[in-house]
């Protein structure tokens, strides 16, 4: 009986890649396997390559020799706060200019107030009868009535401020100065900046989403809620800084853009949170 074994080791070598990649048809595979079953050299070759493949597939993940995060953190740009004082990156020139302008406006108001008191006009008592308090501007402390000093709102006041602007009609130009001249009150505040239609729309949407967030807090992971709240506080700070700067330079396209950016970021964050899956 004649046994057909036409395949040589060299031929097997040529077919081996196709064998492992399963590119051979059934007849081709059968020929390779038949040859290997009778050839120690080719049997060993196939077994060794199988071992290499199995070892490679089971290699565990490696770990860096050091924590790489610090370097990465230093290289990535802060995205949330795009105006004013950023984390460790100093203060932009434009923001400094805006802040300086704000300081001038506030200082002028305080000076006017002090002067008007010295010339013996009626006592400067706020309409609400609040006691005077200190305001701090650039490290200097100036006494002023409390109720109407509005230099820079805190983060939690930002949206209320936007809301009140939405509801109240624009103040008359010069009204504050007239009131001060009458000696009945003093307002060291930014000039009235009418919010844009888009700002009003954003603010309304933000308020709605903040209500959703409050309702969903119990359903979310506490760590996630903490991150969200920290981010909201950060964005609120950016909003209030932009608003304060806008009071000094209402026509600044840059500041208006930053204000819109900050409100948009807040909106996006709240929308994302509203869609997060519940932990329960």
- Contact of 169 with 129, CB cutoff 8 Å: no
**Does the footprint of another protein cover residue 27 (CB under 8 A)?**
no
Among candidate residues 33, 92, 56, 141, the one with its CA nearest the CA of residue 241: 92
Among 5, 11, 23, 91, binds another protein (CB under 8 A): 23
- Binding-site string for another protein from residue 165 to residue 204, where x marks contact by CB under 8 A and - marks none: ----------------------------------------
**Does the footprint of another protein cover residue 224 (CB under 8 A)?**
yes
- Contact of 155 with 237, CB cutoff 8 Å: yes
Among 1, 52, 118, 119, binds another protein (CB under 8 A): 52
Q: Is 103 helix (H, G, I), strand (E, B) or coil?
A: helix
Distance from C-alpha of 199 to C-alpha of 18, rounded to nearest angstrom: 65
Distance from C-alpha of 3 to C-alpha of 95, rounded to nearest angstrom: 90
Burial 228-245 (b: 16+ CB within 10 A, else e): beebbebbbbbbbbbbbb
**Does the footprint of another protein cover residue 17 (CB under 8 A)?**
yes
**Does the footprint of another protein cover residue 56 (CB under 8 A)?**
yes
Q: By CB under 8 A, how many residues form the interface with another protein?
A: 44
Instruction: Pick the closer one to another protein by CB: 13 or 156.
Output: 13
Provide, for the chain, the percentages of residues in helix, strand and coil under a 3-state DSSP scheme, each rounded to the nearest 5. 60, 5, 35
Nearest approach in angstroms of CB 89 to another protein is: 13
**Does the footprint of another protein cover residue 78 (CB under 8 A)?**
yes
Any idea what DSSP says for residue 65? S
Element (DSSP H or E) covering residue 145: strand 140-145
- Among the listed ranges 59-67, 130-138, 152-160, 206-214, the one in contact with another protein (CB under 8 A) is 59-67
Distance from C-alpha of 227 to C-alpha of 221, rounded to nearest angstrom: 10
**Does the footprint of another protein cover residue 141 (CB under 8 A)?**
no
- Contact of 230 with 171, CB cutoff 8 Å: no
Instruction: Pick the closer one to another protein by CB: 171 or 279.
Output: 279
Among 21, 37, 120, 278, binds another protein (CB under 8 A): 21
Q: Which residues in 31-50 contact another protein (CB under 8 A)?
A: 45, 48-49
Among 68, 118, 119, 251, binds another protein (CB under 8 A): 68
- Binding-site string for another protein from residue 250 to residue 279, where x marks contact by CB under 8 A and - marks none: ---------------x--xx--x---xx--
Nearest approach in angstroms of CB 254 to another protein is: 19
Distance from C-alpha of 247 to C-alpha of 241, rounded to nearest angstrom: 10
- Contact of 236 with 266, CB cutoff 8 Å: yes
The backbone torsions φ and ψ at residue 19, rounded to the nearest 5 degrees and listed phi first, read: -60, -50
Binding site for another protein (CB under 8 A): 16-18, 20-21, 23, 45, 48-49, 52-53, 55-57, 59-66, 68-69, 71-73, 75-76, 78-80, 221, 224, 227-228, 230-231, 265, 268-269, 272, 276-277
């Amino acid at each position: 009986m004649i046994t057909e074994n036409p395949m040589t080791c060299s031929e097997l070598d040529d077919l081996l890649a196709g064998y492992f990649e399963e590119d051979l048809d059934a007849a081709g595979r059968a020929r390779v396997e038949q040859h290997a079953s009778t050839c120690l050299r080719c049997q060993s070759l196939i077994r060794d390559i199988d071992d290499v493949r199995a070892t490679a597939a089971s290699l565990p993940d490696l770990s860096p020799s050091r924590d790489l995060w610090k370097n990465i953190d230093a290289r990535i740009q802060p995205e949330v706060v795009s105006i004013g004082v950023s984390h460790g990156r100093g203060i932009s020139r434009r923001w400094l200019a805006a802040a300086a302008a704000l300081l001038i406006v506030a200082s002028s108001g305080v000076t006017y107030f002090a002067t008007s008191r010295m010339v013996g006009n009626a006592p400067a008592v706020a309409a609400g009868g609040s006691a005077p308090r200190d305001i701090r501007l650039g490290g200097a402390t100036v006494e002023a009535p409390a109720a109407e000093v509005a230099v820079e709102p805190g983060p939690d006041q930002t949206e209320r401020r936007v809301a009140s602007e939405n509801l109240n009609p624009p103040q008359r130009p010069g009204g504050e100065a007239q009131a001060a001249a009458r000696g009945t009150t003093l307002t060291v505040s930014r000039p009235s900046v009418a919010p844009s239609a888009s700002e009003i729309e954003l603010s309304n949407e933000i308020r709605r989403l903040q209500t959703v967030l409050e309702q969903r807090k119990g359903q979310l992971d506490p760590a996630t809620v903490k991150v969200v709240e920290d981010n909201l506080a950060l964005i609120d700070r950016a909003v209030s800084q932009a608003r304060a700067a806008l009071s000094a330079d209402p026509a600044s396209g840059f500041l208006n853009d930053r204000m819109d950016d900050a409100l948009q970021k807040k909106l996006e964050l709240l929308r994302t949170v509203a869609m997060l899956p519940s932990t329960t």
